[in-house]
């Protein structure tokens, strides 16, 4: 199984338009962060988690040419706005893409992308061709790959993280209910959000993300959904062992 980190940035991306801080003006490519998303390739499925605003640029850069399914974490703009570019996959490969999310996410997608569900437009295949699936907090399959949703809080809203084999992805999380703790057992890889140093009402900050990693003890933890407050080299040099800031383009190979 392969995990490709397509974007490690918070909703504004890094650099932030107009900002002249150390991270935004950094020459280090690892300080350039597109909006948060990952691509997971198992031996039978190609799964994208979120269609970020930067989706087109991200899949071109990663050389991704096929997607079977999209797992949405939640409906915020930074996580869904690239959805229109699924069209290229539909048209070239002549296939529909299976799309999964909780009830709020699917209902919001129907409102935000109203044109996608217009029968007339679907007939001419000029919109993304997707099959929407509203999922509960229960395991399900994409082809032969088992998916375990992880229900967490993003401020006051309930969103999904996902576990696929020995990998878990959690973005925009500010609180994990104890009832979900079991889903973090024996992970080889955890990718979890760490926004900035100061606390934030709807996202883990750096300290909370470190605490979470140390609680669940995955073999390897990478942080994502990062603002310009966290300079890549500076923060990585002070993080505990096996915990690092991720960066766009990072590829991690895992056992299936
Ligand atoms: Zn976000
Ligand atoms: Zn900045
Ligand atoms: Zn969000």
Helix (H, G, I), strand (E, B) or coil at 89: helix
Residue 205 has pLDDT above 90, yes or no: yes
126-141: average pLDDT = 97
The pLDDT of residue 30 is 98
Q: Residue 141: name the closest of 159, 116, 125, 165 by CA.
A: 165
Complete domains list, the chain, with CATH: 2-253 (3.60.15.10)
Residue 26 has pLDDT above 90, yes or no: yes
Residue 68 has pLDDT above 90, yes or no: yes
175-190: average pLDDT = 98
For residue 74, the ligand closest to its alpha carbon is 3
The model scores a pTM over 0.85: yes
**97 half-sphere exposure, CB direction, 13 A CA radius:** 32
What is the whole-number distance in angstroms between the Cα of residue 43 and the centre of ligand 3?
30
Q: Give the C-alpha separation, 77 to 64, whole Å.
A: 22
What is the whole-number distance in angstroms between the Cα of residue 20 and the centre of ligand 1?
23
What is the whole-number distance in angstroms between the Cα of residue 116 and the centre of ligand 3?
22
Residue 173 has pLDDT above 90, yes or no: yes
Could you report how far apart the first and last alpha carbons of the chain are, in Å?
5
Residue 256 has pLDDT above 80, yes or no: no
Instruction: Give percent above pLDDT 90 in the chain.
Output: 96
Q: Give the C-alpha separation, 134 to 149, whole Å.
A: 12
Q: Give the C-alpha separation, 182 to 57, whole Å.
A: 36
What is the whole-number distance in angstroms between the Cα of residue 212 and the centre of ligand 2?
26
The pLDDT of residue 124 is 87
pLDDT band for 255, please (50, 70, 90 cuts).
Answer: confident
The pLDDT of residue 91 is 93
Q: Give the C-alpha separation, 152 to 170, whole Å.
A: 9
146-157: pLDDT as tens digits: 999 999 999 999
The pLDDT of residue 80 is 98
């Amino acid at each position: 199984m392969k995990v490709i980190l397509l974007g490690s940035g918070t909703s504004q991306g890094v650099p932030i338009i107009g900002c002249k801080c150390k991270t935004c003006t950094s020459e280090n490519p690892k300080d350039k962060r597109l909006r948060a998303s990952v691509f997971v390739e198992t031996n039978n499925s190609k799964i994208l988690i979120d269609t970020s605003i930067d989706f087109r640029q991200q899949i071109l850069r990663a050389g991704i040419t096929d997607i079977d399914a999209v797992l949405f974490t939640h409906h915020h703009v930074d996580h869904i706005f690239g959805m229109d570019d699924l069209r290229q996959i539909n048209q070239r490969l002549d296939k529909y893409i299976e799309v999964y999310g909780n009830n709020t996410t699917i209902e919001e997608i129907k409102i935000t992308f109203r044109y996608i569900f217009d029968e007339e437009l679907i007939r001419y295949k000029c919109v993304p061709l997707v099959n929407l699936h509203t999922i509960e907090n229960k395991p399900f399959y994409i082809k032969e790959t088992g998916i375990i949703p992880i229900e967490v809080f993003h401020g006051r809203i309930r969103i999904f993280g996902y576990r696929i084999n020995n990998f878990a992805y959690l973005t925009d999380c500010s609180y994990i209910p104890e009832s979900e703790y079991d889903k973090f057992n024996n992970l080889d890889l955890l990718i979890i959000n760490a926004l900035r140093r100061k606390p934030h009402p709807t996202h883990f900050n750096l300290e909370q993300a470190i605490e979470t990693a140390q609680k669940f003890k995955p073999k390897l933890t990478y942080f994502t959904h990062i603002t310009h407050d966290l300079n890549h080299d500076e923060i990585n040099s002070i993080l505990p062992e096996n915990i690092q800031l991720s960066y766009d383009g990072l590829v991690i190979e895992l056992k299936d």
